[in-house]
Structure 1
Amino acid sequence: MMNQFIEFCTNHWEMVAVFVAILITLLFMERNNGAASLTSSAATTLINNENAVLLDIRPEKEFKTGHITDSINVPATKIKDSLNRLEKHKDAPIIVVCKTGMTAGASAKDLKKAGFSKIYKLQGGIAEWQASNLPLVKK
């Protein structure tokens, strides 16, 4: 098996080089996203032990279909305009939640730039939360 892998890499070094370059770029971009990812269980622990604040950045319509208890809804497009609303939570851990975990990084980066220190993003977003059979509330 390993011999076949080495042979493939040798015969297709251009493809392997492109793959490695893409992988390094993705890792670099993820590192610079501004926030560490948390699994649903790690987020639950942070909420229970450190009173983490949940910031749901989905549009209001999606938020109303189901969200994590005590979440604050500030759509991603309005984060910069709503920083004063979040100011009282500046020193608390903040978990940024989106639909699938793909867009939370940009909002987390904006919060870091604004001086928020403990920013995390929910890995997999609300979709992963639901897949873990964790509760959502509707209001």
Structure 2
Amino acid sequence: MEFLQQNWYWAALAAASGSWLMVELIRGRGDKSQISPVEATLLINREDAIVIDVREQGEYAQGHVPNARHIPMGDISRRSAEMEKWKNHPLILCCASGARSAAAGAQLRKAGFEKIYNLRGGMAEWEKAGQPISRKRK
């Protein structure tokens, strides 16, 4: 008890950081659309998921998920009719960090797509996980 009285600031810091981690854990569990690179690979292999890369052409050319279709973020709404044939397939959206692909996912959900997943952390996380990178155009 004396230790806590003398080091109250460390105890408060530990309690605050622990609370923050719990909030993030609970928040992350509620959003099933955010998937890790490993979960994405399983979805591709088991359910024939289609990967859509929403980055710009230059970013896509530097490296992307193998067999990913390239539909830049700015073209998502315009090309949603072209994507209609994939409406019943799981779609994994990816970008550099996961932010643009999350916004693209929201657009596709509004267009009636239901099986939308966002690659959490984007290509940065994909590469960090040691997943394969392709430079072929699809």
Bucket of the pairwise TM-score, normalised by the shorter protein: 0.7 to 0.9
Q: CA separation in 1, counterparts of 2:133 and 2:106?
A: 26
Q: CA separation in 2, counterparts of 1:129 and 1:123?
A: 9
TM-score, normalisation: structure 2:
0.77
What runs of 5+ residues in structure 2 fail to find an aligned partner? Answer: none
Are residue 130 (structure 1) and residue 110 (structure 2) matched? no
- Displacement of 1:78 in angstroms is 1.0
Q: Which amino acid aligns with 1:36?
A: S
Q: CA separation in 1, counterparts of 2:39 and 2:59?
A: 24
Structure 1 runs of 4+ aligned residues shifted over 4 Å read none
What runs of 5+ residues in structure 1 fail to find an aligned partner? Answer: 10-15
- Displacement of 1:83 in angstroms is 0.5
- Displacement of 1:80 in angstroms is 0.4
Q: Sequence identity of aligned pairs in percent?
A: 32
- Displacement of 1:57 in angstroms is 0.2
Q: Which amino acid aligns with 1:127?
A: A
TM-score, normalisation: structure 1:
0.77
- Displacement of 1:8 in angstroms is 4.9
Q: Assess, with a 3 A threshold, how the Cα gap between structure 1 residues 45 and 77 changes in structure 2: closer, same or farther.
A: same
Match of 2:104 in 1: 107
Q: Which amino acid aligns with 2:114?
A: S
Aligned pairs for 1:16-55 (under 5 A) are: 36-55=33-52
Q: CA separation in 2, counterparts of 1:36 and 1:75?
A: 20
Count of residues paired in the alignment: 123
Aligned pairs for 1:62-73 (under 5 A) are: 62-73=59-70
